[in-house]
Amino acid sequence: MTPCSRTITLWQLRSRALEMGRRTLVMGVVNITPDSFSDGGRFFDPEAAVAHALELLDEGADLLDLGAESTRPGSRAGSRAGGAAGSVWAPAVSAAEEQARLLPVLEGILRARPDAVVSVDTYKAATAREALKAGAEIINDVSGFAWDAEMASVCAEAGCGIILMHTRGRPEQWLAQPSLASNELLATVRTGLAASLTAAAAAGIPPEAIVLDPGYGFGKRFEENYALLARQAELLSLGRPLLAGVSRKSFLGRTLAPLHHGSDAPVEARETASLAALVAAILHGASMVRVHAARPAAEAARIADAVLAGGHRL
pLDDT at 173 over 90: no
For 208-245, what is each residue's pLDDT tens digit?
Answer: 999 999 999 999 999 999 999 999 999 999 999 999 99
- The DSSP annotation for the chain comes to -PPP-PPPEEEE-SS-EEEESSS-EEEEEEE-SSS-TTTTTTT-SHHHHHHHHHHHHHTT-SEEEEE-S---TTBTTB-TTSS---SSPBPPPPHHHHHHHHHHHHHHHHHH-TT--EEEE-S-HHHHHHHHHTT--EEEETTTT-S-TTHHHHHHHHT-EEEEE---S-GGGGGGSPP--HHHHHHHHHHHHHHHHHHHHHTT--GGGEEEE--TTSS--HHHHHHHHHTGGGGGGGSS-EEE--TT-HHHHHHTGGGGTTSPPPGGG-HHHHHHHHHHHHHTTEEEEEES-HHHHHHHHHHHHHHHHHHHT-
State mean pLDDT over 52-77. 82
Q: What is the CATH architecture of 19-312? A: Alpha-Beta Barrel (3.20)
Residues classed as catalytic: 249, 290
Mean pLDDT for all residues in the chain: 91
pLDDT at 25 over 80: yes
At 83 the pLDDT is 52
At 85 the pLDDT is 37
State mean pLDDT over 20-43. 79
pLDDT at 88 over 60: no
Confidence of residue 74 (pLDDT cuts 50, 70, 90): very low
> What is the value of pTM for the model shown?
0.92
Phi/psi for 145 (5° steps) reads 75, 20
Domain ranges of the chain: 19-312
Q: Rounded to whole angstroms, how far apart are CA atoms 112 and 57?
A: 11
* Percent of the residues in the chain that have a pLDDT greater than 70, as a whole number: 89
State mean pLDDT over 54-62. 98
At 147 the pLDDT is 96
Q: Measuring CA to CA, how many Å separate 77 from each of 5, 123, 240, 286?
A: 33, 8, 25, 24
At 211 the pLDDT is 98
At 71 the pLDDT is 60
Q: Rounded to whole angstroms, how far apart are CA atoms 116 and 63?
A: 7
